A = this chain, B = another copy of it.
Amino acid sequence: MVCEHTSTRRIEFSETDMAGLVHFSNFFRYMETAERDFFEAAGIDLINSKPGELVGWPRARAECKFSAPLRFGDTINIHIAVKALKDRSIDYQFRIYRCNPDGSLTQAGKGHMTTVLTELTSNGKLRSIPLPESVRSKINEAPAVVLARREPV
């Protein structure tokens, strides 16, 4: 059972904007990277395909508070934790940290995402479906102490 995960990546030049900082929309893409790594760590296929059906995780809501800028070349840690495991959806909490040259970490963002397990039906509509046992058996909600943890990870 896995309830949290930390991914690491570098900031790309193409992720900056003319203000010299990472464009804020990319924080949401960083969250998605951590989600993929979390699913891999849990042994879950993020994208399952049933014959003739695509099953995915569209987002119902995404939110981020930005507390420090990120710049080209920065290394970041992206921490994901399961905030709530619901019948057909998962609420995640994210924290994004800039890894400073002196080894310290600065929190650059804190986010939340609600993602709904969904199948694409044959008429092109999206329909939410219950989380299967293959997902429920591998991940669990993070304890409050993890969600409220103040020190970076």
Contacts and interface: CB of A to CB of B under 8 A. Distances in A.
Given A14-B25, A17-B13, A29-B12, A63 B63 contact: yes
Nearest to A25: B28
Contacts of A103: none
Interface residues of A, number: 39
A32 B13 contact: yes
A62 interface: yes
Interface string A50-90: 00101010111111111001011100000000000000000
A33 interface: yes
A21 interface: yes
Contacts of A54: 19-20
